[in-house]
Amino acid sequence: MNIAIIDYESGNISSVINSFKAVCAKQNIEIKIDVTSDLKIISNSDKVILPGQGSFKNCTESLLKVNGLKDTLNEFAIINKKPLFGICVGMQMFADIGFEENETKGLGWISGNVKKINNKNNQYKLPHIGWNELSFNPNSKLFKDVKEKSHVYFVHSYKFMPDDEKFISSKTNYSEEIVASVEKDNLFGTQFHPEKSDTVGLKIIENFIKL
d(C-alpha 150, C-alpha 139), whole Å: 16
Please identify which of the residues 59, 128, 156, 193 carries the catalytic annotation.
193
| Phi, psi angles (nearest 5°) of residue 171 | -135, 160
The yes-or-no answer on residue 24 being catalytic is no
The answer to whether 171 touches 113, Cβ cutoff 8 Å, is: no
Burial category of 137 from C-beta neighbours within 10 Å (exposed 0-12, middle 13-18, buried 19 and up): middle
Please identify which of the residues 59, 156, 183, 195 carries the catalytic annotation.
195
The yes-or-no answer on residue 103 being catalytic is no
The yes-or-no answer on residue 59 being catalytic is no
Please identify which of the residues 88, 100, 128, 156 carries the catalytic annotation.
88
C-alpha closest to that of 6 among 79, 95, 68: 68
Catalytic residue numbers, as ranges: 88, 193, 195
